[in-house]
Amino acid sequence: MCPISLMRIVPTDAVLGANVQGVDLRALDSDAFAAIHRAWLDYQVLLFTDQGLSDEDLVAFSRRFGDLDEAPVQETGQRFVEGHPEIYVVSNVVRDGMPIGSLGSGEAVWHTDMSYLPDPPKASVLYALEVPPCGGDTSFCSMYAAWDELPGRLRRRVEGLRVKHDGTYNSGGYTREGVTPTGDPRTSPGTFHPLVAVHPETGRRGLYLGRRRNAYIEGLSLEDSSALLDEIWAQATREPLTWRHRWRAGDLVLWDNRCTMHRRDAFDPATRRVMHRTQIK
């Protein structure tokens, strides 16, 4: 067991994120887990380096936070990790003509996971098995900071509004399994959520935006909805509200989908990147 005494939580110099040092996630005692849970609520995103996790270990650590959601269906319509329906593979690797995972090697635009569902996962856990020599960094932004720093005029404008989180496309721009794109955000599949949300565990307010593409603010004309969304998105994803992570194999990043968004840089498609993700209900 990893005693809590060896654990150090080192905040990044950004508005969110902390590095948790001195732990092996396969062997956490309950005090160490409680401290990690607290730090996750405080810092929104946690990084653990030098882990050597099997899929079973990844699932076991993730389960300590709650029940797991099944992975969304991959872009090929398949589930890839035999025996682990809760593991989502993020990878550009093609084996026997078939991608082993989702999101390819292009940019993944700013989003929070699975917000097109009525009850999206509260957290995601992403574990790096293979990483490219450069590119493929993942950035996170704080939706608490996005709300706190939103100009008063915009705050008053968005309070009480609901936004449709589109279910047509994933963050890599691929169409989700079984969906026919309509091109009209008012009629495309998705779920309305309040634009300003109170975090159920911290009580802090944050913006909840999901994805920009095909988003739609309830009750507005398409034009007004787009203009307002563009303005809010520009504020929410400003560089000072973000933290960027350059991956190494063995890194595990745990984030809170209720108060962060993330994006990924493109990388050279001739290089390999393999990540396994779980999502916590």
Catalog residues that contact Mn ion under the rule CB under 5 A.
Answer: 113
Q: Helix-strand-coil percent breakdown of the chain, rounded to 5?
A: 20, 30, 50
Minimal distance in Å, beta carbon 246 to ligand OGA? 11
Q: Tokens 């963050």 label which residue? A: 171
CB of 58 to ligand OGA, least distance (A): 13
Q: In terms of C-beta density within 10 A (0-12 exposed, 13-18 middle, 19 or more buried), how is residue 190 classed?
A: buried
Q: Is 254 in the site for ligand OGA (CB under 6 A)?
A: no
Measured from the CB of residue 162, what is the shortest distance to ligand OGA in angstroms? 23
| CA 140/CA 22 separation, integer angstroms | 23
Among 44, 138, 142, 168, binds ligand OGA (CB under 6 A): 138
Residue 105 or 225: which CB sits closer to Mn ion?
105
Q: Are 278 and 125 in contact (CB under 8 A)?
A: yes
Of 72 and 206, nearer to Mn ion (C-beta) is 72
| Length in residues, the chain | 281
Q: Please answer whether residues 63 and 36 qualify as being in contact, where contact means their C-beta atoms are separated by less than 8 angstroms.
A: no
255 beta partners:
45, 124
**Ranges within 54-93 binding ligand OGA (CB under 6 A):** 90
- Tell me how many residues contact ligand OGA (CB under 6 A): 11
Q: Measured from the CB atom, is 47 or 90 closer to ligand OGA?
A: 90
The nearer residue to Mn ion, 72 or 185, going by C-beta atoms, is 72
* Whole-angstrom distance, CA of residue 96 vs CA of residue 94: 7
124 in contact with ligand OGA (CB under 6 A)? yes
Least distance from C-beta 173 to Mn ion, angstroms?
A: 13
Q: How far is the CB of 200 from ligand OGA (least distance, A)?
A: 21
Please give the single-letter amino acid code of residue 162. Answer: R
